[in-house]
Structure 1
């Protein structure tokens, strides 16, 4: 979806901040906006429209052995993102 307006940014937190301040509409992920939608500070405008899925990657320096801390953190991220994801369809 292409929308033109006086504000434009490639920084997601800036776009979300503008939307929260009433400066316009924003296309952001469900996991970024869920709490704001729940507390009423944001309102979903296009409820039946879904943006294409996007992959999320954990990027880290390659080592001979992945540390237990990093392995645990990457596992936590995967579990947390699965918990907050919307059902498919």
Structure 2
């Protein structure tokens, strides 16, 4: 699980039927230096499935890979990243 910052919303004109009603966010995973605000965000953004209602600028806990699809079992969804938690505060 990684920490990421939401930078936008993904809007689809056509989508896979299992994405009906989904909220997709664009998030950038953060390094320790970025969390300490010593560097600007530099990683490549990811499309994240969001059931929790994250807004732009929110910090989230991001689950990737096979673990990202686990909340949808036994149904299959083509998801590579999932918003597992909204983070209110991070203490380093």
TM-score by length of 1: 0.20
Question: Which structure has the greater CA radius of gyration?
Answer: 1
More strand by share: 2
